[in-house]
Amino acid sequence: MSPVSFEHLAKQNPKYKRAIEQLQAWVNAHPQDRVLNPLKLRKDIRNVNPAELTMALDLLRKAGLLHRVYKVVTPAGVLADAEFDDPTAIPDKLPDRFEEYFETSDADVIPVFRRIA
């Protein structure tokens, strides 16, 4: 996979240039990861303010480079396979990683970003 470039977006948004560049470096270092989890990014990119990172992700989303989706956390504390554009579309039950179905009403839902570029 060819390296991703967010350079144009960084130039257009000097206030978030550093955060965008760090995101670009993260994406290029993780070519297999098609989903960006803001919580993981905050852990991995420690030299950028979390608020700036959030804004940078939103800029990438608005530029059409990322798509926001919602994932459900299974009772074991990992992400279920299914993903949803709209959190209200999450069904009552979902399979966990070992095909055991669980009630989603008590489960945590987290927004993540799917890479389009």
- By the criterion CB under 8 A, which residues form the site for another protein? 32-35, 37, 40, 71, 76-81, 92-93, 95, 97-101
Minimum CB distance to another protein, residue 76 (Å): 6
25 or 102: whose CB is closer to another protein? 102
Closest to another protein by CB, 28 or 37: 37
Report, in Å, the least distance between residue 96 CB and another protein. 9
| SS3 state of residue 82 | strand
CA–CA gap between residue 108 and residue 94 (Å, rounded): 13
- The DSSP call for residue 107 is S
SS3 state at 111: strand
User: For residues 80 and 74, is the Cβ–Cβ distance under 8 A?
Assistant: yes
Closest CA to 69 of 97, 26, 109, 29: 109
**Which CB sits closer to another protein, 14 or 98?**
98
Quote the least distance from Cβ 98 to another protein, whole Å. 6
